[in-house]
Amino acid sequence: MKDPRILIVDDEAVIRDLFKRILETKGHQVTMAKDGSEALDKIKEEPFDVIFLDIVMPGIGGLKTCQTIEKINPEAKIVMITGYGAEVEEEIEKSLKAGAYECLYKPFTVKELLDTLEKVLKK
């Protein structure tokens, strides 16, 4: 896929900025959203190829956002991201059943992020 449109959804500005810097360095077009509500507004405006979606956020959480994205932009490849471990495993499983492709655990390396993106784009 040439120049995928990527949406980063995370309530932590430092995480959004990190994703943006890494992915734009590789030539990708990146849009950011601070929560599920803002993400859904952006998805209604334009389709995205890949969405990195935090599981635990205030307001609309990652699982509900994932389920709604599947209805609005079903072609999008969703990667759940989390800094939590076992306490969100159930949410991760539900997200994968709802259509997410992968889960990326924080903290992650640049290589892990890029490998995950590459893997998802090949699916």
Domain CATH for 83: 3.40.50.2300
Q: Which pLDDT does position 85 carry in this prediction?
A: 73
pLDDT at 89: 85
Task: Output the pLDDT for position 103.
Answer: 93
Provide the domain limits for residue 114.
5-122
Give the pLDDT means over successive 10-residue stretches in the chain (123 positions).
Answer: 88 96 94 97 95 94 94 94 82 90 92 96 89
pLDDT value at residue 1: 55
Question: Residue 10's pLDDT is what?
Answer: 97
The number of domains in the chain is: 1
Q: Which strand ranges, in their side-by-side order, compose the sheet holding 50-54?
A: 29-33, 5-9, 50-54, 77-82, 102-105
